[in-house]
Amino acid sequence: METLRVALLQSDIIPDNPAANLAALEQLLDAQFGACANELSPDLIVLPEVFTTGFHPRARQHAETADGPVSRWLMRQAERYQAAITGSVVYTPSASDAKAHGARHTNRLLWASPNQPLKHYDKRHLFRMAGEHERYQAGLERTIINVSGWRVLVQVCYDLRFPVFSRNRDDYDIALYVANWPAGRHDHWRTLLKARAIENQAYVIGVNRVGQDAYDQSYAGGSVVFSPEGAVLIDAADIPGVVTTPLSAQALNAYRERFPAHLDADGFTLVID
């Protein structure tokens, strides 16, 4: 496991226009890293939650399908920059998914890596205060994905409020949260991300959007990376664009050896139903 270079894309999301959002994200990537992989390219690129639609009354009309346009776009970017790239979309279940887990849409984090099959995680905790639990199917699995030897726990927005689900059982090095987290609860965003880093002795990446959605909800960005000790490594503030930072495996391992609080953690069983 070597140093991992991560890029956080903090974007506004144009309501109800997936094609325009993909074009804008591609332009941001091209402006930051050039049109193809080079020495500046990151190892991991992180996009916000529902990055093609935002939360919009017609978002489900643009739902992604297996091998749909967003999946293909992600795979193209992964190949172009020779990097993993991830973010969440509104997703239509396949026939097998619908039979096993229900016919409703999911808020699905998609993860593309060069020359590998697409991976995914379905948002477990659905934001009932906005009725998300009535329109979407909750995920049933806790998901950890490997990138360059790093183990990454992937989560979506409201999952951040549930520490048992994200408790590190010596099975991940990074916890990653993609979000549409409103400006009115920005302090919660920062506080919870920092807490997840400290209590799990892991890097924490949080990527949020900026701008205003179709419901006149404002978003203040605040995409950030915290170290395992809770220090801010990079902070995008409220500015649209791309920020990058390296994550040091040596620093992570040294801190865990110097302060091995994880050895005194309580055992528990996580029940997902």
> CB–CB of 50/95 below 8 Å?
no
- What is the average pLDDT value for the chain, to the nearest integer? 93
Out of 53-67, 90-104, 128-142, 183-197, give the one with best mean pLDDT: 183-197
CA distances 140 to 125, 160, 255, 267, 272, Å, are 10, 16, 32, 21, 6
Sheet with 4-10: strands ordered across: 119-122, 106-112, 84-91, 44-46, 4-10, 241-247
Q: Is the pLDDT of residue 95 over 70?
A: no
Closest to 123 (Cα-Cα) out of 63, 49, 183: 49
- Give every CB contact of residue 120 below 8 A, 6+ residues apart in sequence: 91, 108, 109, 110, 111, 143
Range with the lowest mean pLDDT among 125-134, 162-171, 232-241?
Answer: 125-134
Summarised one tens digit per residue, pLDDT across range 22-40 is 999 999 999 999 877 787 8
Integer Cα distance of 122 and 138 in angstroms? 7
pLDDT of residue 67: 87
Integer Cα distance of 154 and 49 in angstroms? 12
Confidence of residue 102 (pLDDT cuts 50, 70, 90): low
Q: pTM for this one?
A: 0.95
- Give every CB contact of residue 2 below 8 A, 6+ residues apart in sequence: 148, 149, 249
Integer Cα distance of 219 and 215 in angstroms? 12
Summarised one tens digit per residue, pLDDT across range 185-210 is 999 999 999 999 999 999 999 999 99
Complete domains list, the chain, with CATH: 4-264 (3.60.110.10)
Which positions are annotated as active-site residues?
Answer: 49, 123, 157
Residue 246 β-bridge partners: 5
Mean pLDDT of 46-52: 97
